[in-house]
Structure 1
Amino acid sequence: MKTLIIEDTKKLADTLQNFFSMNGNNADISYNLEDAYHYVEITHYDIILLDIMLPDGDGRNFLQKLRKKNNLTPIIVMTAKFEISDKVDILDLGADDYIIKPFEFIELEARCRAVLRRKNNNHQQSLAFGNVNLFPQTATIEINGHAQSLRNRELRLLEIFFNSPNIIFSKNQITDRIFSISDIVSENAIEVYVARLRKKIEKSNIILETMRGIGYKLTTKN
């Protein structure tokens, strides 16, 4: 899960980033709306955590502008307001959920998972392509009844391909989805992850095919 945290309280934002990182997820931080707009233009996020009161504007305006641009990235609003009318307004503007400050991080993480499950085909528990089943919640794949565990980035890379089989993804697109902006990524990093996954699915009837000069796609073997 790649997350954008839009929060001007540095201690909270940094602690949230560390929390998500410890759980194997990538998180970028924007302390203001100007940077947030820039981040969503240049990279892909699975979910956005949005504060309302920011030094350069109201987070609700950010939410509204993203939805008007047809950006459907799930957004959870982090708010200190308790009024029912405020919550209704937030949801009506296009937020997927909200959480009241102060909150427990494990509750926020659970809300993130719930929002992503709703987005990914209504509580889908597994993905299948060819004779391979992918189980994101347990980070495993199963081939002909034989299960193998996946590391975090291996899982996220396979999710990309399983959600869009036969679609070509460039190295830049893959890097954008599995690394955060602050990560230092070597030139051959994607090749390393693809090689690992190829080894794990070598006994299946699917393959990560190299489209020379373009990228990779998940397809079935001839």
Structure 2
Amino acid sequence: MRLLIVEDAEDVSDAIAENLSRQGHVCDKARTLADARQFLAVQPFDLMVLDINLPDGSGYDLLKEIRARGEALAVLMLTARLGVDDRVDALDAGADDYLVKPFDFRELEARLRAVARRRHGETDAVLEAGDICFNTATRRVTVAGTPCDLTRREQSLLEILLSSRGRVIAKEELHSRLFGLEDEVGLNAVELYIARLRKKLPSTSLEIRTLRGLGYQAFVAGPARHA
């Protein structure tokens, strides 16, 4: 996933980004509402972690702007307020979930996974396609029951493809979800990672099809695997 972390406490945002990056996610960080708006104007995100109290205003304002535009961006609110009314306000404003500070990073990661699953219509942490099984909580990938060793970015690519089975995904979209704005990586890197994933997955049922000029499409195929 590609996430935007809107948090003015640098140590907190750095810690969140570090933990999520270890899970293979791409994280951009904004310390103010103005910075967040700039990120959102130029880059699509899968999920946003949004603090309520920011130097130039309330995170509620940004959340309301996003929902007023009809954007389906998943949002998890961070708050130091313990009151039930504050949590109700966050959910009523359009937040998908909330977390009270201080928090355990394991709970944050679990809540983000749950939000992402709900957004993709999944009911549990396991993505399956034919003989491929990917546990998004443990990051364990198996093919026909045999463990498959993938790098973090290869895992992220597989997660995107499995979550979007049947949908054509443009190369530009894959690039934006796999690499941060600070990564100086060209579009050809997507082709490289697609090739690596095909080579590492000894699957007889998942096909990753290249559609020239359109992008990539993953789907469960028959017993024969195509190049």
Q: CA deviation at 1:203?
A: 4.4
What amino acid is aligned across from residue 24 of structure 2 in structure 1? G
1:137 has 2:137 as partner: yes
Residue 209 (structure 1) aligns with: 209
Q: CA deviation at 1:173?
A: 0.7
Please give the secondary structure, in 2, of the residue aligned with 1:167: coil
Distance 1:207 1:71 in 2: 31
Distance 2:37 2:156 in 1: 24
Q: CA deviation at 1:5?
A: 0.8
Distance 1:18 1:201 in 2: 28
Residue 81 (structure 1) aligns with: 81
Distance 1:216 1:174 in 2: 9
Q: CA deviation at 1:218?
A: 1.8
| Residues 139, 150 of structure 1: 8 Å contact kept | no
What amino acid is aligned across from residue 200 of structure 1 in structure 2? K
What amino acid is aligned across from residue 3 of structure 1 in structure 2? L
1:33 has 2:33 as partner: yes
Residue 158 (structure 2) aligns with: 158
Q: CA deviation at 1:187?
A: 4.1
Q: CA deviation at 1:73?
A: 2.2
- What is the number of residues matched between the two proteins? 222
Segments of structure 1 that go 5 or more residues without pairing to the other structure are none
| Residues 120, 163 of structure 2: 8 Å contact kept | no
1:189 has 2:184 as partner: no
Please give the secondary structure, in 2, of the residue aligned with 1:208: strand
Residue 6 (structure 1) aligns with: 6
- Cα shift readout 1:110-160 (whole Å, capped 9, x = no counterpart): 322333343343532433334444333343444444442322221221222
C-alpha spacing 1:197/1:5, structure 2 compared with 1 (3 Å)? same
Segments of structure 2 that go 5 or more residues without pairing to the other structure are none
**Amino-acid identity (%):** 36
Q: What is the correspondence of 1:76-115 to structure 2 with a 5 Å cutoff?
A: 76-115=76-115
| Residues 52, 77 of structure 2: 8 Å contact kept | yes
Residue 127 (structure 1) aligns with: 127
Q: CA deviation at 1:17?
A: 2.0
What amino acid is aligned across from residue 42 of structure 2 in structure 1? I
What amino acid is aligned across from residue 168 of structure 1 in structure 2? V
- Cα shift readout 1:177-203 (whole Å, capped 9, x = no counterpart): 112222221442111111111113354
Please give the secondary structure, in 1, of the residue aligned with 2:183: coil
TM-score normalised by structure 2 residue count = 0.84
RMSD, matched Cα = 2.4
Residue 66 (structure 1) aligns with: 66
Q: CA deviation at 1:76?
A: 1.5
Please give the secondary structure, in 2, of the residue aligned with 1:65: helix
Residue 55 (structure 1) aligns with: 55
